[in-house]
Amino acid sequence: MAGKTLYEKLFDAHVVHEQDDGTALLYIDRHLVHEVTSPQAFEGLRLAGRKPWRTGAMLAVPDHNVPTTNRAGGIVDPVSREQVSTLDRNCQEFGVQEFPMADMRQGIVHIIGPEEGFTLPGATVVCGDSHTSTHGAIGALAFGIGTSEVEHVMATQTLLQKRTKTMQVRVEGELGPGVTAKDVVLAIIGKIGTAGGTGYAIEFAGSAIESLSIEGRMSVCNMSIEAGARAGMVAVDEKTVDYFRDKPFAPTGEMFERAAEYWRTLKSDPDAVFDKVVTLDGTKIEPQVSWGTSPEMVVPVNARVPDPAAESDPVKAEGMRNALKYMGLEANTPITDIQIDKVFIGSCTNARIEDLRAAAAAIKGRHVADNVTLAMVVPGSGLVREQAEKEGLDKIFLEAGFEWREPGCSMCLAMNADRLEPGERCASTSNRNFEGRQGQGGRTHLVSPAMAAAAAVAGHFVDVRQA
Amino acid sequence: MQAFTTHKGIVAPLDRSNVDTDAIIPKQYLKSVKRTGFGPTAFDDWRYLDPGEPGMDHSQRRKNPDFVLNQEPFDRATILLARENFGCGSSREHAVWALTDFGFRAVIAPSFADIFFNNSFKNGLLPIALKEEEVDAIFKAVAANPGLELEIDLPNQVVKAPDGSEYAFEIDSFRKHCLIEGLDDIALTLEHADKIKAYETAQMEKTPWLFNDLRGNVGG
């Protein structure tokens, strides 16, 4: 009998009960909660007279609606304010631990989970948020769910799940200088497509993935959903174990060693069989820039905007024409000729300390270009912000003309006041370039933190390796 | 949950692939703490020419006459037809609530994104995956005959067109059962409460560090 994949090991370890048709009741170890997708679930509990099964497995934080400036002044928008105070009230009523807006540990839910050691290797992790796949980077089975499932997990600590297919994405070889985890995952999505991972759990493997830091692996797993896969994961290695040595909610002392022993088993067996294997040559990956309105619409920085006339599939060609029109771009334009108006460095994809260090390194001693009206850095959490300030990164950003903001989701999806105006073009380290994602009529180009910072200085996209 | 057995209704052709949940319901409407009221702002950026915000009277806004759901008879459609990878992107269940609140009972497409697909079943919205050429044939039939009604028969897993064409579809047997009966997942799961407790007891021995709260031993 063939060995097990990491996904199968994680899934099997959490099966409470299995029906004849393969539908399993899967136990959920960690449930992250934010203000946008939880109010209807709490309300559902209330209406049915139910209590959360295990509040100790939950951690809540407001992140989508929170302001990134003048936080002491509270939330100006009354609708956003109501949503955040609803979370506060629900957490109080049901006894759920919350890091409220004023807490030093507040931040983007997927940044604070691992940062606190609340999400751990070997755990099942869910959140009413598609970027929950981030936590797969630490060898967890982590995926996003809808609000009905949020309520289901609250009430039962389980989910009804069927095993998905498994895909291994192997990236082999040494990444070139200036090529980051973000470029790797954009290149993967460009190759397999935005639905390439639908119905699969992806395991990222190969020497290029192994060489990434835990934070880099998080950037990769974060965007699994942009390839259609609900879950992405990376096997546990010593980097993973070491990452959790000093985290507040992680086990300590003997219990840590016992946990680490188990965590080290969390890798696919050598003879495990995946339903699909995709391989990329890491040495050939270049810094990436998205040009369209789907994350699969991505090219290397030195390429040109693709031409729909060269696309044989008529549905795809039509999608490309729609995208070019929305983006205000002509086919065959060199990517480096595209001028930008705003720069956003942040989001659950790229707002960890290493991301900020990379961006700061690309701008040190230089200044944001005149045509860039706003360049902002939004740290992923209060602790990331504090660490960056200890290292003096805030000064580098401020001296370069960037704004240094408070933590939250911010302009990744513009639920707070941070947004693009119609027609504005943004170099963004976030994860989605959908129409209107960063503000109605806004135009998003997805890039790495270093590429975003370099673009801020140049006023247009540049190859960070030559910047 | 609203049960689904059979349904007959007008088909609205939305000729796009990768329709994402940001397009189905833009972010500003996610600030609502309710499950209802999302219908008037479904596909907001495509449906209206002026920008929308929560709390507006959307009936007073300028509608985009080129958008299919603003056109007769598609404004009364209950079945949505789209291209591949429908519902990709964010996990927001608000996208499903927007479609059901608009009046849709089913979406037909060659493929769906996983989270949207799951969310649909929790709300009595039936996502039907047909072959690409079948979806294409329905697009052509609707173009030739706007207002065409399809009949969906869930117990027999078939979509029937007025010209006699029939399109069989697959559906997970458990999901089909829950949809036909309109069952509440949570009540069903709680029938297994003893098994969940037994699992926890066993796991507390195997992976105790994940159960600090239950062991009353925080930080251990």
| Residues A229-247 pLDDT 10s | 999 999 999 999 999 999 9
Domain that holds residue B220: 184-220
Confidence (pLDDT) at B13: 98
Sign of CA dihedral A39, A44, A47, A53: negative
User: Are both B107 and B196 inside the same structural domain?
Assistant: no
- How far is A158 from A170, CA to CA, in rounded Å? 31
**Superfamily of segment(s) A290-458:** Aconitase, domain 3 (3.30.499.10)
Confidence (pLDDT) at B217: 41
Distances in Å between the alpha carbon of A429 and those of A348, A379, A398, B99, B134?
9, 12, 18, 31, 39
Tens of pLDDT, residues B173-202: 999 999 999 998 999 999 999 999 999 999
Confidence (pLDDT) at A85: 98
Decide if B130 touches A, using CB distance below 8 A: no
CB-based burial label for A465 (10 Å; 0-12, 13-18, 19+): middle
Across the interface, whether the CB atoms of A432 and B88 are under 8 A apart is answered no
Decide if A406 touches B, using CB distance below 8 A: no
Distance from CA of B2 to the nearest CA of A (A): 14
User: Are both B164 and B191 inside the same structural domain?
Assistant: no
Taking CB atoms and an 8 Å cutoff, what residues of chain A touch B85? 194-195, 198, 228
User: Are both B178 and B189 inside the same structural domain?
Assistant: no
User: Are both B122 and B24 inside the same structural domain?
Assistant: yes
- How far is B12 from B8, CA to CA, in rounded Å? 13
Same fold, A7-160 and A290-458: yes
User: Are both B103 and B194 inside the same structural domain?
Assistant: no
Ranges under pLDDT 50 in chain A: none
Decide if B202 touches A, using CB distance below 8 A: no
Fold of the A7-160 domain: Aconitase; domain 3 (3.30.499)
- How far is A231 from A225, CA to CA, in rounded Å? 7
User: Are both B120 and B211 inside the same structural domain?
Assistant: no
Across the interface, whether the CB atoms of A255 and B220 are under 8 A apart is answered yes
Residue type, position B48, single letter: Y
User: Are both B139 and B151 inside the same structural domain?
Assistant: yes
- The answer to whether residue B52 scores a pLDDT higher than 70 is yes
Residue to test with chain B: of A194, A226, A265, most B Cβ within 10 A: A194
- How far is A120 from A29, CA to CA, in rounded Å? 9
Confidence (pLDDT) at B218: 39
Q: Which of A445, A420, A457, A411 minimizes the C-alpha distance to A333? A: A445
Task: Please report which confidence band the pLDDT of residue B1 belongs to, taking 50, 70 and 90 as the band edges.
Answer: confident
Mean pLDDT of B78-107: 98
Parse chain A into domains and list their residue ranges. Answer: 7-160, 165-284, 290-458
Distance from CA of B132 to the nearest CA of A (A): 11
Taking CB atoms and an 8 Å cutoff, what residues of chain A touch B92? 36-37, 146
Confidence (pLDDT) at B216: 53
Q: Is CATH 3.40.1060.10 what the domain over A165-284 is classified as, yes or no?
A: yes
Task: Please report which confidence band the pLDDT of residue B220 belongs to, taking 50, 70 and 90 as the band edges.
Answer: very low
User: Are both B144 and B210 inside the same structural domain?
Assistant: no
> What CATH number did the domain enclosing B170 receive?
3.20.19.10
User: Are both B210 and B148 inside the same structural domain?
Assistant: no
Taking CB atoms and an 8 Å cutoff, what residues of chain B touch A77? 31
Decide if B35 touches A, using CB distance below 8 A: yes
Within 320-339 of A, beta carbons closer than 8 Å to B belong to 322
Contacts with A92 (C-beta within 8 Å, 6 or more apart), sequence order: none
Taking CB atoms and an 8 Å cutoff, what residues of chain B touch A130? 89-91, 115
Distance from CA of A430 to the nearest CA of B (A): 13
Within 347-376 of A, beta carbons closer than 8 Å to B belong to none
Q: Tell me the percentage of chain B whose pLDDT exceeds 70.
A: 97
Confidence (pLDDT) at B38: 97
Pick B93's closest partner by Cβ from A82, A146, A162.
A146
Confidence (pLDDT) at A311: 96
Residue B220 three-state SS: coil
User: Are both B116 and B128 inside the same structural domain?
Assistant: yes
- How far is B64 from B72, CA to CA, in rounded Å? 13
Closest Cα in chain A to B90: A130
Within 139-178 of B, beta carbons closer than 8 Å to A belong to 172-174
Residue B195 falls inside a structural domain: yes
User: Are both B119 and B197 inside the same structural domain?
Assistant: no
- The answer to whether residue B127 scores a pLDDT higher than 80 is yes
CB-based burial label for B27 (10 Å; 0-12, 13-18, 19+): buried
Distance from CA of A197 to the nearest CA of B (A): 10
Residue B1 falls inside a structural domain: no
- How far is A18 from A92, CA to CA, in rounded Å? 35
Count of the separate structural domains present in chain B: 2
Say how many residues make up chain B. Answer: 220
User: Are both B169 and B192 inside the same structural domain?
Assistant: no
Residue to test with chain A: of B209, B211, B213, B218, most A Cβ within 10 A: B209
- The answer to whether residue B219 scores a pLDDT higher than 50 is no
Contacts with B58 (C-beta within 8 Å, 6 or more apart), sequence order: B40, B41, B48, B52
